[in-house]
Amino acid sequence: MTTDSLMNDHADRLAPFFHPALFYATEDEYLDGVGGFVRGALDEGQDVLVAVPGARLKLLKEFFDGEHERVMWVDMTDAGRNPGRILSMLQEFADRPGRDARPVSIVGEPIWVGRTPAESWEATRHEALINLAFEGRGLSILCPYDTALPEEVLAQAYRTHPVVGDSAAYRASARYTDPREVCRDCDVPLPEPRDAVVLAFGREDLARVRDEADHWATAAGLSPERRTDWLLAIGEATSNSVRHGGGQGRLRLWRADGELVAEISDRGRLADPLTGRRRPDPYAPTGGRGVWIMHQLCDLVEIRSSAQGLVLRLHMSVK
Amino acid sequence: MPGAAVPAEREPGTGHHSSVVFADDQEWAAHLCAFVRDGLARDEEIKYFADTTDPGRVLRTLGDAGIDAVAAERRGQLSVSTAAQTYLAGTGFDPDAMIGLWYDAVEESAARGYAGLRAIGEMSWGARDIPGADRLLEYELRIHQEVFERLPLTAWCFYDRRLLPDDRVDVLVGAHPANRGGPVGRPVLRVTPLTDRPGLRLSGSAGYDTREAVAAAAAAVRGMPTARVELDLAGLRHLDTASLATLAAAVADRPAGPPLGVRHAPPPLRRLLDLFPEFGSAVEVLDR
């Protein structure tokens, strides 16, 4: 049982912040590595959040013989479909009121086989931001990586995790990289759409833009329920352009492979990469409320912040 | 509330607070004469608060129409003054002070034996850089519940299209239960007092671009003197978080009571309440 070998790294577990990547190839390795991590945390009386893809969730639940009262089980393919909203969930779990002073442990598997390259880049950005968000905090976040994932995805895991390993042992990652540098590297060029509807807007055009985005999405087959999310997200993004992005912006709308995409670009910038990654005070007009809402409502949010301005691509599945 | 002892002497209705939109002198004169003639016939006191119109011209116009305005003025039944001499004479426009003035005026009118008070106000000052002018919409929204539901008062708010931008006229006219003037456009967000219960109707699309109208609606909600206040959102297509937060914050400023009741909650409101349960203490969907 390799749980013991994991627990031999007791010193690491008690480090202020423990954020290992665990590479696994088989279900047994998964259960050894992840199951052992959860078991160890429970043995120490910790609360545990397990956010992994549904099939893995089922495996772990069976391993623990059903629900464990100190474990919160979350299907990451749903809660973390948009990688940009995972960090908010993790911080909410770590900070939830009424929790005793004991550290918490989290299993977060943000990338699985089948993730698109765009999703994987944003998930890698999320992994890097974990290091910024929890710097100096006493908690452990284990991130399992399926070795069947593309090489370039696995390579990024070595850059975003201070510690890497398998079900046998962990070691410091020699390739660990400053999170801000990783975020910059995640800003890969966005592919240009072929047929986009283009709407330039200023303050006076916001209502027209909302209505046109509504009509366009209706014609494109988006369900009424998802259209509500789509319009709330676009409304937040376009009003941010007017408020923070130089007073105007450009909205482009297009269809792509089973999804709708809205791109909002302006002359603003996202100074803090953690903007929108923590549940905001709903009454506070600043503090990332708009970006947080976009992350909650969309299936994917791609962010590109540069000296030229800010580009947000909001993706919404039509399936 | 100043003068709160003055009882309501008639059934509340929708016609006591009206907007009158016009674009030329002939239309202005026709509305003016109809209003004064009706008031004299009802033995009501009549006040005209001018902004840009010379008071002498008001009297001449009435006289030209065969109304003995001079006699009415001499016996104190008709008065023509300017906003600058009266309610704008202080530091600017203050909706709270203005509401108090209505109570005083109605009380004085009743003491002099008139059957009621009716007033015309030229509202073109609302487009100028007068302190408090940005609270005009708040005032128009508040007075239905805080004044007209409680006092024997009829008021026509004169909006001269030559002096106010169309989009501002459209929004301000929407705040009146009735419009007796020419047609107006549909504003992006229209806010109207409910006439069958304390509350407001919001229709159209609320976002960053309409935040001033939302702030006025919130101020009206904050000031409503009843425990239960409702919003009818049947015609609201879009609502953003900031608008909801503004309305919810106004509820938090009210004396302790039930949350703001919402009828016909549109999908974005329901979604935002899911995302932010914190708003649930201030806003309650009544027809889930």
A129-150: buried (b, 16+ CB within 10 Å) or exposed (e) per residue?
bbbbbbeebebbbbbbbbeebe
Taking only the tens place, the pLDDT of each residue in B155-181 is: 999 999 999 999 999 999 999 999 998
CA distance B260 to A207: 25
User: For position A102, what pLDDT does the model report?
Assistant: 77
DSSP, res B259 = P
Mark yes or no for CB contact B268/A211 under 8 Å.
no
- Closest-CA distance, A89 to chain B, in angstroms, reads 13
Runs of H (alpha helix) within B42-158:
55-64, 69-74, 95-111, 136-143
The C-alpha atoms of residue A280 and residue B278 are separated, in whole angstroms, by: 11
pLDDT of residue B15: 59
Contacts of B141 (CB under 8 A, 6+ apart): B175, B191, B193, B200, B216, B217, B219, B220
Cβ atoms within 10 Å of A185's Cβ, excluding its own: 15
Alpha carbons B51 and B86: distance in angstroms, whole number:
11
- By CA distance, what is A240's nearest residue in B? B208
**Token reading at A86:** 């995972």
Contacts of residue A279 in chain B, CB cutoff 8 Å?
none
* Spatial contact of B20 and B182, defined as CB atoms under 8 Å apart: no
b/e per residue A96-113 (b: at least 16 CB within 10 A): eeeeeeebbbbbbbbbbe
Rounded Cα distance between A121 and A302, Å, is: 9
Mutation target to probe the A interface, by most A beta carbons within 10 A, among B271, B273, B278, B283 is B271
Which residues of chain A make contact with B249, given a CB cutoff of 8 A? 283
Which ipTM was obtained for this model? Answer: 0.91
Domains and CATH numbers, chain B: 9-183 (3.40.50.300), 188-288 (3.30.750.24)
- What is B141-189 written as a DSSP string? HHHIIIIITTSSEEEEEEEETTTS-HHHHHHHHHTSSEE-SS--PPPSE
pTM of the predicted model as reported, rounded to 2 decimal places? 0.90
Tell whether B288 is within 8 A of chain A (Cβ): no
Question: Domains of chain A by range and CATH?
Answer: 3-186 (3.40.50.300), 197-317 (3.30.565.10)
B207:A211 CB<8 A: no
- Which residue(s) pair with A253 in the sheet? A197, A262
Q: How many CA atoms lie within 13 A of A298 on its CB side?
A: 31
How far is the C-alpha of B193 from the C-alpha of B219, rounded, in Å?
13
Q: Choosing among A92, A205, A206, which should be mutated to test the B contact, i.e. which has the most B CBs within 10 A?
A: A206
Q: Let me know how long chain B is.
A: 288
Contacts of B55 (CB under 8 A, 6+ apart): B48, B80, B81, B82
Q: Tell me how many residue pairs between chain A and chain B have CB atoms under 8 A apart.
A: 67
pLDDT digits (tens, 9 = 90+) for A137-185: 989 999 999 999 999 999 999 999 999 998 789 999 999 999 999 999 9
Full pLDDT tens readout for chain A, 319 residues:
344 344 344 434 445 899 999 999 999 999 999 999 999 999 999 999 999 999 999 999 999 986 688 999 999 999 999 999 999 999 999 998 776 677 899 999 999 999 999 999 999 999 999 999 999 898 999 999 999 999 999 999 999 999 999 878 999 999 999 999 999 999 989 999 999 999 999 999 999 999 999 999 999 999 999 999 999 999 999 999 999 999 999 999 999 989 999 999 999 988 899 999 999 999 998 879 999 999 999 999 999 998 899 999 999 999 7
Non-local CB neighbours of A182 within 8 Å, separated by 6+ positions:
A124, A125, A127, A128, A156, A159, A160
The gap from C-alpha B115 to its chain's centroid, in whole angstroms, comes to 22
Nearest by CB to residue B207, choosing from A214, A239, A283, is A239
Q: Which chain B residues are within 8 Å of A295, Cβ to Cβ?
A: none
A235 with B204: Cβ contact below 8 A:
no
Strands A139-146, A105-108: pairing is parallel
Location of structure tokens 């991590």: A37
DSSP A223: -
Q: Are the CB atoms for A314 and A217 separated by under 8 Å?
A: no
Integer Cα distance of B179 and B157 in angstroms: 9
Closest residue of chain A to B267, computed from CA coordinates:
A228
Please determine, for residue B7, whether its predicted confidence score (pLDDT) is greater than 50: no
Cβ distance A235 to B279 less than 8 Å, yes or no, reads no
Which residues does chain A have within 8 Å of residue B238's beta carbon, measured at their own beta carbons? 207, 210, 214, 231, 235
- Which of B170, B203, B240 should be substituted to probe chain A, the one whose Cβ sees the most A Cβ atoms within 10 Å? B240
Whether residues A207 and B209 touch (CB distance < 8 A) is answered with yes
Amino acid at A225: E
Do A282 and A300 touch, CB atoms closer than 8 A? no
In chain B, DSSP finds a helix count (H) and a strand count (E) of 9, 12
CA distances from B236 to B173, B192, B265 (A): 18, 12, 8
Distance of alpha carbon A25 from the chain centroid: 23
pLDDT at residue A146 in the model: 98
CA quadruple A267, A272, A273, A276: dihedral sign:
negative
User: What DSSP character marks residue A203?
Assistant: G
Q: Does B278 touch chain A (CB under 8 A)?
A: yes
Distance from CA of A203 to the nearest CA of B (A): 6
Is-contact A125 A83, C-beta < 8 A? yes
Q: Which of residues 177-216 of B touch A (CB under 8 A)?
A: 188, 204-205, 207-210
Burial string for A269-301 (b: 16+ CB within 10 Å, else e) reads ebeebbbbbbbbebbeeeebbbbbbbbbbbbbb
- Residues in A lying within 8 Å of B, measured between beta carbons: 203-204, 206-207, 210-211, 214, 224-225, 228-229, 231-232, 235-236, 239, 242-243, 282-283, 285, 289-290, 293, 296-297
